[in-house]
Structure 1
Amino acid sequence: MKKANLKSMNKQTKSMLITYAMVIAVFIIVEVMVSTGMMSSLMQGLLVPLCIYSIVAIGLNLCVGYLGELSLGHAGFMCVGAFSSAVFSKCMMATGMNETLRFILAILIGTVVAAIFGWLIGIPVLRLRGDYLAIVTLAFGEIIKNVINVMYLGKDSKGFHFSIKDSASLNMETDGQKIIDGAKGIVGTPNQSTFVVGIIIILISLFVCFNLVNSRTGRAIMAIRDNRIAAESVGINITKYKLMAFTISAAIAGAGGVLYAHNLSTLTALPANFGYNMSIMILVFVVLGGMGSFRGSIIAAVLLTMLPEVLRGLADYRMLIYAIVLIIMMLFNWAPKAIEWREKYSIKRMFGKKAKAEEVQ
């Protein structure tokens, strides 16, 4: 029993180290390509979005792959993290605060605010399961987006002014600063998101998720996923562990939202940014990469984000090829025959057979 646990632990550690090594290797390769001029400006512009979607996919995989709950509201948590951090950065720009310190605080604020929303939403929502939970989390994402679209926020010498009617209702002084302007969003957010920051947040997210999953808490979360009744019968607090996983998942999505906000000069809560399609797209990354595989989520997020841009020259056929690639990836990952074929021709198995043959001889 002890040997089996040690073997499982070694396997988990090996998987974790491979994922870290993969992210660091990609970072080094990209930095070399950028410094030598081998990477196009189009691809350089995609580097931060690739990090954003990877981060949010890691967070959603914790909820879907390990907790076993289908959430369609992670675009809402992204939106909360994006706007809370952007409001902070916009307010602090005039104070002369150090830019690096301001950005670090913005990341912390966006992450914490998203975690708070995840905790508040999780209390009633996690009592539901399956399709019902998916529908309610989807509704939360839409509510957040629509509330921000009608929100007006300004600041002057008297303090903050808030309205949901129009900008004239703020009743600010003439020299006041308009922060959120309804559907126009926030204009002039400092552009501080970089590929380096994105990689650091990916590594931190992986560290948090791997340590959670491989801990006693993680085993309790997976026990709830596998058999809720059995987990409850041995004294596992279902509400506590589900809420913990959901909150951490929301916090990671909020960190992705901070990067998103600080990568744009104008931040709006339009459906194209934080709508239903965004949540579905992130879920596609998780499913295609493999539920429970953080490394798979990163790979799927990178490939499926880059593919439409790489195929842009094909005009009308671009999305058709994208759809075909999605189908092929899904079949390759989940079709029983494809799984058998992968196991049969896996490098580990082939080398194992070769080693056994040598031993026999």
Structure 2
Amino acid sequence: MSQQTATRDRGVAAIIKNAVVSALLALVLFSLMIGIRTETGPSGQLTYWTRFGELAAVVGAVFIGSIIVETIKRWTGPVGSVELPDTVRRAFAMLGRLLIPALLIFALLVPVIFYNQRYLLDLAILVLTYVMLGWGLNVVVGLAGLLDLGYVAFYAVGAYSYALLAQSGLPFPYFIETYPYVAIDFLQLGSWAFWALLPVSGLLAAFWGVLLGFPVLRLRGDYLAIVTLAFGEIIRLVILNWQDLTGGPNGISGIPRPTVFGIPLTRGDDGFAALIGVPFSPTHRLVFLFYIILALALLTNWVTIRLRRLPIGRAWEAMREDEVACRALGINITTTKLSAFAIGAMFGGFAGAFFATRQGFISPESFTFQESALVLAIVVLGGMGSQLGVALAAIAMIGGFELFRGLDQFRMLVFGGVMVLLMIWRPRGLVSHRAPTVFLQKPTEISSSLVKEGRG
């Protein structure tokens, strides 16, 4: 047998081996997700049935797909870096500069383009809500480098703060009687309640962010993640069990809707439609909610970009790269961490207040760990620290999830597979390149004599 034939046989054996391993992994992973289907029976008992045929089809597809992929890799061989022509690079750079204005113009025109499609307007509002949450968490995770798994707690604080204050003035009715000069009865604000309570909800969420920051000042990495996860669960359990204040599992309903600066979006003669002389339509409220969350998201983006260029933003980036070196430079780690938690939590509180007024009803089921994981996945997938990447990831994850809705129970599997492939293709996120806040316009050249003396 020639050496070439032996090499080919070893290559075929390696391909088959990798395909068998991939098929076995697929069998283990999908045996419970696809092979067995469970549901609750009519009398409450658990019923199940098997789908071994579909499981075998998936495992076979993985086996054949692995053989095809490995064969293509061996045929094409390793691909080296390709140097693009200057004209192509300039064209890509121009497209990159035009992408953000194009997305902004499209966002402004969404209510006009999809005015008669309520489902798409609702989906656009949901996407922008997660864009805002992603930008808020990006301050903590992307800029400051603090892994926060309990970000949904601040989302919940903002939502419940707005709901409670808008319905009953202050959470504790006796507070107004005891401290009449300090307390504010928000019930007197009437139609202006949303605009008055929006900053209050953000400030309360920022206050809880500072409270979370103090116990975790000395923690990093996995330990910080565990504590923040526990904080999110504590907030959810408090909301669930403090029924006298939060309504417990029944939630809070009848939350006031936002108004156009005091003018309600209702059908009556005092409504906004009658004021401007147009026929009333329920879509007006959706359009107004869309522009509110768009303005809040753009405000979050603008504040974050401005903070990055300030000393506090550069301190966040320094702490993200190396906390020990950051301490050695004389940066106050305590205030740096607390400011990151507070500002990120404030934007989460704003988003929570908007969520409460948009839904008109909130309950503890809306603030589970799954929401924190989803927002964190958006930040990681988009590229930590990248504002554009977070926006694109929110569109891909929220809009893409709806795109696969027609696949019924398989949509989670398909969507998860697409996300895995995307992370393999772009392991550092959709937008992995981030220009540093401070950099030298021209590299400084140090002579060899100075380096020898220890100055370089």
Partner of 1:189: 255
- Post-superposition shift, 1:96? 5.8
Answering whether residue 237 of structure 2 is matched by residue 146 of structure 1, we say yes
Partner AA of 1:304 in structure 2: M
Indicate how the Cα distance of structure 1 residues 245 and 23 shifts in structure 2: closer, same or farther if over 3 A, else same.
farther
Indicate how the Cα distance of structure 1 residues 90 and 235 shifts in structure 2: closer, same or farther if over 3 A, else same.
same
Q: Which has the larger radius of gyration?
A: 2
Answering whether residue 148 of structure 2 is matched by residue 68 of structure 1, we say no
> In angstroms, what is the RMSD of aligned CA positions?
2.7
- Post-superposition shift, 1:190? 2.2
Q: How does 1:5-154 map to 2 (within 5 A)?
A: 21-22=101-102, 24-35=104-115, 37=116, 40-91=117-168, 95=187, 97-99=189-191, 101-153=192-244
Indicate how the Cα distance of structure 1 residues 207 and 216 shifts in structure 2: closer, same or farther if over 3 A, else same.
same
Residue among 364, 367, 374 paired with 1:274: 367
**How big is each residue's C-alpha offset from its partner over 1:94-139, in whole Å with a ceiling of 9 and x where there is no partner?**
946342x311122111101100000111011132100001000000
Does the 8 Å contact 2:159/2:353 carry over to 1?
Answer: yes
Does the 8 Å contact 1:16/1:210 carry over to 2?
Answer: no
**How big is each residue's C-alpha offset from its partner over 1:278-312, in whole Å with a ceiling of 9 and x where there is no partner?**
11111100010000101111111122111222221
Partner of 1:318: 411
Q: How does 1:197-208 map to 2 (within 5 A)?
A: 197-208=292-303
Partner of 1:284: 377
- Structure with greater contact order relative to length (CA < 8 Å, sep ≥ 6): 1
Give the unaligned 5+ runs of structure 1: 1-13, 154-161, 163-179, 343-361
Partner AA of 1:188 in structure 2: G
Q: How far apart, in 1, do the equivalents of 2:327 and 2:379 lie?
A: 28
Q: Percent of aligned pairs with the same residue? A: 34
Q: How far apart, in 1, do the equivalents of 2:240 and 2:153 lie?
A: 13
Partner AA of 1:123 in structure 2: F
Q: How far apart, in 1, do the equivalents of 2:95 and 2:205 lie?
A: 29
Does the 8 Å contact 1:57/1:283 carry over to 2?
Answer: yes
Give the unaligned 5+ runs of structure 2: 1-93, 170-184, 259-287, 434-456
- Provide the TM-score with structure 1 as the length reference: 0.76
**How big is each residue's C-alpha offset from its partner over 1:72-98, in whole Å with a ceiling of 9 and x where there is no partner?**
010011001110011122236994634
Answering whether residue 311 of structure 2 is matched by residue 216 of structure 1, we say yes
Does the 8 Å contact 1:183/1:269 carry over to 2?
Answer: yes
Does the 8 Å contact 2:248/2:364 carry over to 1?
Answer: no
Q: Secondary structure at the match of 2:364?
A: coil
Does the 8 Å contact 1:73/1:137 carry over to 2?
Answer: yes
Partner of 1:242: 337
- Mean CA deviation greater in 311-320 or 85-94: 85-94
Q: How far apart, in 2, do the equivalents of 1:260 and 1:94 lie?
A: 19
